[in-house]
Amino acid sequence: MSKNSMKIGITCYPTYGGSGVVAAELGMQLAQRGHVVHFISSDLPSRLVELNERLWFHAVDMMAYPLFEYPPYALALATKMVEVAESENLDLLHVHYAIPHAISAYLAKQMLAPKTLPVITTLHGTDITLVGNDRSYLPITRFGIEKSDAVTTVSTYLKEATYQELNVKKEITVIPNFVDVNHFHRQYSRPRHQKLAPNGEKLLLHISNFRPIKRVCDVIKIFHAVRKALPAKLVMIGDGPERSKAEYLCRTLGIEHDVCFLGKYGLIEEYLSIADLALMPSALESFGLAALEAMACEVPVIASQVGGLPELVLSGETGYLMPVGDVSAMAEISLRVLRDEALAARLSAESRRRAVEVFSTSKIIPLYEQLYQDVLEETSKQDGV
């Protein structure tokens, strides 16, 4: 164990979504670097593949009681945070997604006083741009941010959006999302490729939680236009509220036999390794983690020019960015990449290079470790230790 080994509590949503994935990957990376990580959540985060002596999971207990039409999860979480902080002697709590996690952490911290439990909050996107700026949640989101000992965002776009939309004064550090480039790399599988594209069709891919913000019907429409021009197949990974609409659209357009809906499939690298293009036509993305994972597997990304995506996808170098909703521009540029082998090869190589050089775990995880150390030093100064 390293000299500066820390005991870190991590809270996130365990469901299929970017913030839970980042939290789980971060916890696993920190454990590999000698820290002890305790996940405190309603369920095991979907990316958390193993638990061991440095990776622990504590489920939040929810008492069912007929009076509770809306069981108070935030309170049960705060209670569990206190319990784990005491029993495991946590050095700090790192919560992902502001609501309600930053508030539960604040409550836990107050309950533990005079013992100090520094709280770090990472904002991921919809916690600010959708939920946080809704009038019903804005004041409490702002409060959670202001009361955290440190706040990070996953992109510069999100930092600026937080200042603008929530009018917070808190210092915010940008720590971009990261990818384990040893895990996410191209591992070509001929049987898998042949199964999906038996006649050498081009393979397009989309990964998301199928929420309206992902514009999955745009994915289908882009593919439809591509499919009219050349033989192609589409793999859709993930699940969510827009899935049936997307499946219905495929049937209406008569392309249902060329589109494969895999649902919540965990081993996305298997499909990224055989894909020619990834599509992310979202209405908004604060970062776009699935695009980064695609880039690490040498897959160029066609995405919307919105939010934090320009910080990740360099248009013309690692893929292309087009205006939100411009299906024909996205289809046209997809066709250009699919038809031009030299261009596709250049974009693929540059995607991998950028993922490795800018967003790999070796570059990003030390930024979190440094932030934790700074916060611990700062809080121990305040305590007069």
* Min dist. Cβ of residue 190 to ligand GMT (A): 31
Residue with smaller CB distance to ligand GMT, 150 or 284: 284
Site string for ligand GMT, 195-214 (x = CB under 6 A): --------------x-x-x-
Q: Which two tokens stand for residue 15?
A: 């469901």
Separation of alpha carbons 347 and 329, rounded Å: 18
Kindly indicate which of the ranges 17-25, 106-114, 270-278, 343-351 contains the residues binding ligand GMT, using the contact rule CB under 6 A. 17-25
Q: Is 100 in the site for ligand GMT (CB under 6 A)?
A: no
Q: Is 97 in the site for ligand GMT (CB under 6 A)?
A: yes
* Min dist. Cβ of residue 130 to ligand GMT (A): 8
Residue with smaller CB distance to ligand GMT, 154 or 179: 154
What is the Cα gyration radius of the chain? 22
Q: Is 177 in the site for ligand GMT (CB under 6 A)?
A: yes
Kindly indicate which of the ranges 13-21, 86-94, 137-145, 189-197 contains the residues binding ligand GMT, using the contact rule CB under 6 A. 13-21
* Min dist. Cβ of residue 123 to ligand GMT (A): 9
* Min dist. Cβ of residue 30 to ligand GMT (A): 17
* Min dist. Cβ of residue 245 to ligand GMT (A): 17
Residue with smaller CB distance to ligand GMT, 97 or 372: 97
* Min dist. Cβ of residue 223 to ligand GMT (A): 20
Q: Give one word for 224, left, alpha or beta, with left for phi > 0 and alpha for psi -120 to 50.
A: alpha
* Min dist. Cβ of residue 202 to ligand GMT (A): 26
Nearest Cα to Cα of residue 262 among 328, 218, 320, 203: 203
Report the length, in residues, of the chain: 385
Residue with smaller CB distance to ligand GMT, 175 or 226: 175
Kindly indicate which of the ranges 15-23, 74-82, 348-356, 367-375 contains the residues binding ligand GMT, using the contact rule CB under 6 A. 15-23
Site string for ligand GMT, 119-158 (x = CB under 6 A): -----xxx---------------------------x----
Please work out the total of residues on this chain that contact ligand GMT, with binding judged by CB under 6 A: 20
**Under rule CB under 6 A, which residues in 255-314 are in contact with ligand GMT?**
284-289
* Min dist. Cβ of residue 289 to ligand GMT (A): 4
Does residue 231 have a cis peptide bond before it, meaning omega lies within 30 degrees of 0?
A: no
Residue with smaller CB distance to ligand GMT, 214 or 233: 214
Residue 147: HSE in the Cβ half-sphere, 13 Å Cα cutoff = 19
The angle subtended at Cα 354 by Cα 352 and Cα 360, nearest 5°, is 85
Q: Is 19 in the site for ligand GMT (CB under 6 A)?
A: yes
Residue with smaller CB distance to ligand GMT, 122 or 348: 122
Q: Is 17 in the site for ligand GMT (CB under 6 A)?
A: yes
User: What phi and psi values does residue 92 have, to the nearest 5 degrees?
Assistant: -160, 165
* Min dist. Cβ of residue 208 to ligand GMT (A): 6
Residue with smaller CB distance to ligand GMT, 25 or 258: 25
Residue with smaller CB distance to ligand GMT, 174 or 213: 213
Q: Which two tokens stand for residue 72?
A: 């108070």
Residue with smaller CB distance to ligand GMT, 93 or 175: 175
Does residue 114 have a cis peptide bond before it, meaning omega lies within 30 degrees of 0?
A: yes
Binding site for ligand GMT (CB under 6 A): 17-20, 22, 97, 124-126, 154, 177, 209, 211, 213, 284-289
